[in-house]
Chains A and B, each alone.
Chain A
Amino acid sequence: QKEVEQNSGPLSVPEGAIASLNCTYSDRVSQSFFWYRQYSGKSPELIMSIYSNGDKEDGRFTAQLNKASQYVSLLIRDSQPSDSATYLCVEEGGGKLIFGQGTELSVKP
């Protein structure tokens, strides 16, 4: 059974700080990972995708993948109140997305 584990939070950070979201996965052969953001009552929207070991940066967001340790992380620099949402760590497994439980992030002004 493939699993993606995330700390459900809530994770609270002050405005302007770095928010660090982490997840681990169980399937060693997984190659594709995604971070989705979901605001309350809305649908998930893609923030980042990452397929190779290392870091991938897009604006204030950096995704990190370490296949040896089977973890994925998302860093949000200069956090804003508008970043307050649930962040879903997702692994691709056999044509299906395997979702973590999500981490609730709260950015306080």
Chain B
Amino acid sequence: DTEVTQTPKHLVMGMTNKKSLKCEQHMGHRAMYWYKQKAKKPPELMFVYSYEKLSINESVPSRFSPECPNSSLLNLHLHALQPEDSALYLCASSETGGFTDTQYFGPGTRLTVL
């Protein structure tokens, strides 16, 4: 089973709302990732969790707040977003985060900020 699940599939929110994106994997992977992808562009890395600790933060604005409650779950809390934050948010996981690891992507959450 190489499945990463993400909920919700679609999310529309206002600039004053607080919402959360959820990602789950049951492959026993110890590294999990959040990416943001705009149309016609490659994914941009936001955060990396390795063994439940934040290991990479690509200088993402504080209105995005990641959380890793356990090794299977990764959340992205959203607050006071801007319309330019509208994008496809992808979660991925890999075995350990090592350089030969394959990253498996979830289906993504399509976020629209009004």
Instruction: Return 5 A-B CB contacts under 8 Å, by A number.
Output: A42-B108, A49-B100, A95-B97, A96-B45, A97-B45
Chain B hits for A49, CB < 8 A: 100, 102
Chain B hits for A92, CB < 8 A: 99-101
B90 at the interface (CB under 8 A from A): yes
Whether the pair A97, B103 counts as a contact (CB closer than 8 A) is yes
Measured between C-beta atoms, what is the minimum distance from B86 to chain A in Å? 14
Partner pick for B107 among A32, A42, A100, A102, CB 8 A cutoff? A42
Chain B hits for A51, CB < 8 A: 100
Closest A-chain residue to B110, C-beta based?
A41
Measured between C-beta atoms, what is the minimum distance from A79 to chain B in Å? 22
Given contacts A42-B107, A101-B41, contact A95 B99 (CB under 8 A): yes
Chain A hits for B103, CB < 8 A: 46, 97
Partner pick for B100 among A32, A44, A88, CB 8 A cutoff? A32
Chain A hits for B42, CB < 8 A: 88, 99-102
B48 at the interface (CB under 8 A from A): yes
